[in-house]
Chains A and B, each alone.
Chain A
Amino acid sequence: MNDAQPLLEVRGVGHAYGDPSLSKHWGCRDVDLDLWPGEVLAVVGESGSGKTTLLGALSQRLSLTEGSIRYQTVDGKVVNLAELSEAAVRRLWRTDWGFVHQNPADGLRMHVSAGGNVGEPLMAVGWRHYGHVRAAAAEWLERVEIPVDRIDDAPVTFSGGMRQRLQIARNLVVSPRLVFMDEPTSGLDVSVQARLLDLIRSLVTELGLAVIIVTHDLAVARLISHRTLVMKDGHVIESGLTDRVLDDPQAAYTQLLVSSILQG
């Protein structure tokens, strides 16, 4: 690991939907950012501002129309993600990255037991001992506060909060270094949100994870992120330390966004 080098170095990244030779509908464009190991970066903005597109492009789920992403692998080498083979990207997915979807049904196998869901990434990287897989799954259920006696129940029988915590366990079980989260707390009621954020925050600190979290909720950004990126119409209009951005917004749109929140 080279500490003088960011984990993720993003330059001029843009993704256009549709056939780029015909018409360009830019989901996001001209995005520059650096993400350092162990850092939590929030991407905020209104719906349709390109947050999720950016997350898709960074995690290689969407192709880059322009720009480059350089990633520092676990052995300290810096690679250009666009040049990696599909197999290499999948390897990153299995071992180095996690992706927490807004809707847990997108990130879980809803009819496979909780233990199977958490165990799948382990078996995908070559675990071939049932007892070990099961023990690791049980340990992770405990860490995300799901009763271990639910290990053989399928996520369809779980509440929304439990599903989301299960999805987090499934993503963290292979000890990734970088986790993408797309609105992990929306769709949950406020008390469950608070507990989930607490859990995410403690796991992130404990495991030293780097996280890019997309949210439209400024309170979420305030609570768990070190730095914040504000997006509008596919462009980054402001970025900086979270407290600075939220307490002393510079861009007009950020000021509007911050002032639109009811102050308690």
Chain B
Amino acid sequence: MSTGLDGYNIGYLDEQTKRMIRRTLLKAVAIPGFQVPFASREVPMPRGWGTGGVQVTAAIIGPDDVLKVIDQGADDTANAVSIRSFFAAVAGVRTTTRTDEATIIQTRHRIPETPLADGQTIVYQVPGPEPLRFLERRETETRRLHALADYGLMYVKLYEDIAKYGHIATTYDYPVMVNGRYLMAPSPIPSFDNPKMHRSPALQLFGAGREKRIYAVPPYTDVESLGFEDHPFEPQRFDEPCAICGSTGVYLDEVITNDKGGSMFVCSDTDHCERAAAALTGADPQEVIA
């Protein structure tokens, strides 16, 4: 069994720190959607680059785990690659880009297209854990509002959207109600991904390193996106299929192709795109992209 990089504890953090984070996680799972403060540590990356997610992953990762890291859905961007190789080095774990092979998926801003399964854990990197922050700046007051489940304020935001744009214009970090009790920021995932959180079989953990908060949604928990009776929540939709693999009903990124205004829409989930494209041609996934 590999023990990771010489001179480092498994998973980089020391055992006391991991124990502290696990205690926080237990409390977070026990109170779905409630933000639990924790003593966020320094990790070898800047605050705001996924330090919360890294600490959560470090606290739960074990030698048998298989780790996948995505950044905006992609496995091959700088942030995803460095976090993956970081854990490969300090925890000696196997890594993958395939959603269905992973036991832990650390993510920034997306939930994979492949449905998550029982036994998987998804760790979200969270920049701003407080959904009410932009309307109420005082932390003492937002905590009180959560304690009293006084969430009228959040609807003011949605009201303003409809008054201004005719529809709810919030397209990412769309507020959700967890288990009918706590209002929660789902991290900046597109509202397209919100329905995937509802009664998901996977354990969902959220780490905000800079803001020093951890929260969680246990498997099979209700996650309801807010809305009005006459303006219900509507996830984003795309009219075109992916330009590479032809998938429909997936989240697409716009890719600029030249400096004359040309662009195309492709899957943001690279793992899904590779496999869908391979299924299309019957070829090996890696070769299709190359």
Chain A residues at the B interface, C-beta cutoff of 8 Å: 86-87, 90, 94, 109, 112-113, 115-116, 119-121, 123-125, 128-131, 133-134, 151-152
Contacts and interface: CB of A to CB of B under 8 A. Distances in A.
Q: Which of B148, B150, B159: most chain A Cβ within 10 A?
A: B159
Contacts of B230: 129-131
B23 interface: no
A87 B148 contact: yes
A90 B148 contact: yes
Given A128-B228, A129-B228, A130-B228, A120 B160 contact: no
Contacts of A113: 160, 163-164
Contacts of A116: 156, 159-160, 163
A70 B159 CA distance: 37
17 contacts: A90-B150, A113-B164, A115-B163, A116-B156, A116-B159, A116-B163, A120-B153, A121-B152, A124-B152, A128-B228, A129-B230, A130-B228, A130-B229, A131-B230, A134-B159, A151-B163, A152-B163
B176 to A, nearest CB: 15
**Chain B interface category by residue count:** 10 to 19
Contacts of A94: 152
B133 interface: no
B27 to A, nearest CB: 22
B90 to A, nearest CB: 46
Contact of B162 (A86, A87, A90, A130): A130
A93 B108 CA distance: 40
B156 A109 contact: yes
Interface string B206-240: 00000000000000000000001111000000000
B152 A125 contact: yes
Contact of A123 (B159, B163, B231): B159
B247 to A, nearest CB: 34
B279 to A, nearest CB: 43
A130 B164 CA distance: 13
B155 interface: yes
Contacts of A152: 163-164
Interface in B105-154: 135, 144, 148, 150, 152-153
Contacts of A90: 148, 150
Given A115-B159, A115-B163, A120-B152, 13 more contacts: A86-B144, A86-B148, A90-B148, A109-B135, A116-B160, A116-B163, A120-B155, A120-B156, A123-B152, A123-B155, A124-B150, A129-B229, A133-B159
A124 B153 contact: yes
A92 to B, nearest CB: 13
B152 A130 contact: no
A155 to B, nearest CB: 13
A59 to B, nearest CB: 17
B231 A130 contact: yes
A121 B152 CA distance: 7
B230 to A, nearest CB: 5
Contacts of A119: 156, 159
A129 B230 CA distance: 6
Nearest to B154: A123
B145 to A, nearest CB: 9
A173 to B, nearest CB: 12
Contacts of B159: 115-116, 119, 123, 130, 133-134
Contacts of B135: 109
A128 B148 contact: no
Contacts of B155: 120, 123, 128
